[in-house]
Structure 1
Amino acid sequence: MFVSFEGIEGCGKTTQVELLTTFLSQRGIPHLITREPGGTRLGKLIRKMLLDPAHSEMEPLTELFLYAADRAQHIAQVIRPALETRQWLICDRFADATTAYQGYGRGQDLAFIQQLNQWATQGLWPHLSLLLDCPVEVGLDRARRRIEDSALEGREDRFEQQALAFHQKVRTGYLELAAQNPARFRILDATMELERLHEEIATILEPYLNQKN
C-alpha cells in the first residue's frame, strides 16, 4: 500500500505521518516512512540545494528537474523495493507536489510536468493521497511558529519565503488535482485538532489494513 501525504507549508503533514507511524506499529503492519525530496542519500543533497534560501537565484526549470531527479532516485532505491516486499510505504509529499508547486506555483507547463512525472515515477503512483488542506495564512503562521520554536532551523526555507500569492496558487493546484483524481485523493480539514485529524486518517485507512498490497 502506497500512501502519500500532500499539502501546503504548515498543513501538518509531518506530524500526521508521525502519528500514523505509531498507529501502524501498534497494528503490527510493516511500513516504511519516507519523504520527497530527501528520501535517499543523493536525495538529501538535492533537498539541501532546493530548500536553501542562499539559492534564491535558482531557475524554475532547474528546480523542476532537481525534483524529478530526486524522485527517480527515490523510486529506484526506496519506493519500488519497499512495495515489492509488501510493506506499507508512507511518503511525505510525492509527484503531486511538483504539479502543485512547480506547475501552479511557478507557472511551469502542466502538460510537460505530467510527462516528466511519468518518466520519473515510471508510472508508479500512490494508491491513496491524503491532502491536508488549510488556508494559506494558517499554514504559513504555523510554519513560522515552528521555526521560532526550533533550536535547529532558525530560518525559513526557500519556499516558506515565497509571497502569499505563490502559496495561494499552490493550494489551488492541490485542490484541482484532488478534483481531477477523486478515486485517489481524500481532502481533510487540516485546521482541526491534531488527534481528531489523525482519527479521520485512521478511519480512511481502516479498509486497507488487511489488504496484501
Structure 2
Amino acid sequence: MTKGIFITIEGGEGSGKTTLIQRLSHVLQQKGWDVMTTREPGGIPIAEQIRTVILDPAHTVMDARTEALLYAASRRQHLVEKVLPALEQGVIVICDRFVDSSLAYQGHARGLGMDAVWEINRFAIQDIMPELTLFLDVSPEVGLSRINAAADREINRLDLERHSFHERVREGYRMLLKRFPERIVSVNADRLPDDVFEEALQVLMDRLNR
C-alpha cells in the first residue's frame, strides 16, 4: 500500500499542463505538503532516452504499436524507479501524463483500441492508478495556437500531426472522463491560465481535504 497521493494531469497538446503543475506544486509546498513533480515519458534517465526516440520529429514512420509499447516501457521504469518510492515516503506525486495518455492517443486517436492499449499498460503498471486525474480540456485550435506562439517550446512529433488527430485525442479523453468519473475531473483549459489554475486548485484541495 502506498502512503502518498498520486495525482496526474492530462490533456492534449498546448493544454497548459506544465505551467499548471508548477503552480499547483508551489502552492502545495507553501501549505506544507511534500510534493514531487515529474513527467511522462521521461522523469528518469532511461525514460528520457525513450522519450527522445518517441517524440523525435524524424521518426514519423514509427508504427502505432511500437509507439504504444515504448510508452508502456518508459512508464514502467519511471513508475518503479521514481513514482512508487516517493509514494512510499508519503509524498504527493504530480505527474504530467500517465496511462490515460496512452489510452487517448494510441488507443483512440491511433485506432489501436483502448482495451488493447489498456492490456499493454496493465502489465506495466500492475494496477497502480492515480487517485485523481485533472483533464485539461482544450480545443485543438487553442492548444496548437499556443504551441505555435511559444518560441521556447520544443516541437515534437505529435505536434506535427493533422488537426483531425488532435480532435480524436480530445474525443478519447472525453470517453475516459465518462468511463472513470470518480477519478477524472475535467477543467476547461481554453480559458486564461489564472482561471484554469483556480479551478484546478479547488478540485485538488477538495480531494486532499477528504
2:83 aligned with 1:79: yes
2:111, 2:124 → 1: CA distance?
20
The aligned counterpart of 1:195 is 194
1:133, 1:207 → 2: CA distance?
20
How many angstroms does 1:208 deviate by? Answer: 3.6
The aligned counterpart of 2:168 is 169
Count of residues in correspondence between the two structures: 206
2:24 aligned with 1:23: no
Structure 1: 5+ residue runs without aligned partners?
none
Residue identity matched to 1:112:
A
How many angstroms does 1:207 deviate by? Answer: 2.8
Question: Which residue of 55, 64, 68 maps to 1:64?
Answer: 68
Question: Which residue of 119, 141, 145 maps to 2:145?
Answer: 141
TM-score (norm: length of structure 2): 0.95
**Pairing of 1:94-133 with structure 2 (within 5 A):** 94-133=98-137
2:72, 2:156 → 1: CA distance?
19
1:114, 1:143 → 2: CA distance?
29
Identical columns (%): 40
Question: Which residue of 4, 8, 19 maps to 1:4?
Answer: 8
Structure 2: 5+ residue runs without aligned partners?
none
Provide the secondary structure at the position in 1 that maps to 2:136: strand
The aligned counterpart of 1:39 is 43
Residue identity matched to 2:94:
I
Residue identity matched to 2:193:
L
